[in-house]
Amino acid sequence: KRTHYINETLRGIFRLADWNKLTAGAEFVQESLNSESDNIDKARTNTYNLFAQDEINIFKYLDAVAGVRYTQNDNFGAAFTPNAGLFFHIAGFRLRASYAGGYRTPTLSQMYATDQAKTTARYTLNNPDLKPEKNHFFNVNAEYSNKWMSVSVSGFMNKIRDMINYRTMTDDEIAASPDLTALREEGWKTIRQRDNIDKATVRGVSASVKFLIPGGVTIGGGYTFTDSKAETQTLNTKTQLYEVTESPVDKSVKHVGNVMAAWDHTWGNYHLNITVNGHIQGERYSSTYGYADGFSQWDLVTRHTVRLKHFTLEPGLGIENIFNQRDTSPWNSNFSTITPGRS
């Protein structure tokens, strides 16, 4: 398979008044696909987008944002996706609330290409009748900051519908189609098709804190809890009936944390920054392989800034994955991490 992707964007930002800023523009996206195995010779789709967003200062402490995006696609027609937000700020306090709609058209590969997995005897069909995926995203955020600290707490929810996933074909569907019957006779045990069979809800909270300590020291950390639920249609191979099953969203992680510590110092024309970052992650779910173990990774980054008369040198040196954390599970497992080790 060979794909070509072109994206061209023209955007303008206009200061209409001291209290009003408008962003508007147009975007053109073209995707093409060639696949000898599927006898596809330059399948192509064009998407045209127009977008505008207005930022208004209602009064001293309150700002508002409202925008809309218009999409016209060769295969799926027109769609509008809005977004809106409010931002209240006074002294060191900031409160935000926002909403955004989402719209994603299927790729040409999902619509027209097939996949063959010979090791598992699984054949995946294309589906030119796929529908676009849509979602509604809500977010609320509160922050406080001063000269030596900052604290932030957020809550979010994302509701997605018409998600594209794989639907296993029933025995009756296979028997009713000469093409599918021929595939079964060739030895393909599982024949499936991409379809809009899923919907999901992802919601959670995140919090972060950072402290600026005298002497050039900065320490901070954050935590995110995500609760996700996906509903999908699964074929019961014994009864040949579809059942709605619930599970976490594929690739989702419930618990994620991060910590950091940094030190900055300047000697004349030389500035040094040393940062240690830690990422701690709980189990990650896979709809195919189950849960992968949690893991943590720690990195050391140093940046050296040397300011000379006519130019500045800024080399960086560090250690990624200090403790050489690796997942050595056998191939075809749900890996907790794919890092090759310390570098």
How many other CB atoms are there within 10 angstroms of residue 213's CB atom? 12
Strand 77-90 vs strand 93-104: parallel, antiparallel, or unpaired? antiparallel
Structural contact between residues 321 and 299, judged by C-beta atoms closer than 8 angstroms:
yes
Q: How far apart are CA 75 and CA 72, in angstroms?
A: 9
pTM of the model: 0.83
Q: How far apart are CA 298 and CA 260, in angstroms?
A: 9
309: DSSP letter: S
Structural contact between residues 280 and 298, judged by C-beta atoms closer than 8 angstroms:
no
Q: For the chain, report the end-to-end CA distance as a whole number of angstroms.
A: 34
What pLDDT is recorded for position 118? 84
CA 21 to chain centre: 28
By percentage, how much of the chain surpasses pLDDT 70? 100
Q: What stretches in the chain show pLDDT beneath 70?
A: none
What pLDDT is recorded for position 315? 97
Reported as half-sphere exposure (CB side, CA atoms, 13 A), residue 32 has a value of 5
Those residues whose C-beta lies under 8 Å from the C-beta of residue 133, and which sit 6 or more positions away, are 102, 103, 104, 106, 160, 161, 162, 163, 164, 196
Give the pLDDT confidence of 270-317 residue by residue, as tens digits. Answer: 999 999 999 999 999 988 788 999 999 999 999 999 999 999 999 999
Structural contact between residues 105 and 85, judged by C-beta atoms closer than 8 angstroms:
no
- Closest among 126, 119, 109, 117 to 167, alpha carbons compared: 126
Structural contact between residues 219 and 213, judged by C-beta atoms closer than 8 angstroms:
yes
Q: Please, where are the H alpha helices in the chain?
A: 108-112, 171-175, 178-185
What pLDDT is recorded for position 143? 98
- Closest among 224, 228, 225 to 200, alpha carbons compared: 228
253: DSSP letter: B
Residue 303 to residues 95, 214, 259, 261, 266: CA-CA distances in angstroms? 34, 20, 19, 14, 12
Segment (H or E) for 257:
strand 255-267
* The token pair that represents 15 in the structure block: 């200061």
**3 state SS of 298:** strand
Radius of gyration of the chain (CA): 26
What pLDDT is recorded for position 287? 80
What pLDDT is recorded for position 1? 80
What pLDDT is recorded for position 333? 84
- Diameter of the chain measured on Cα atoms: 80
What pLDDT is recorded for position 191? 92
16 φψ region: left (φ > 0), alpha (ψ -120 to 50), beta (else): alpha
- Phi, then psi, of 331 in degrees rounded to 5: -55, 150
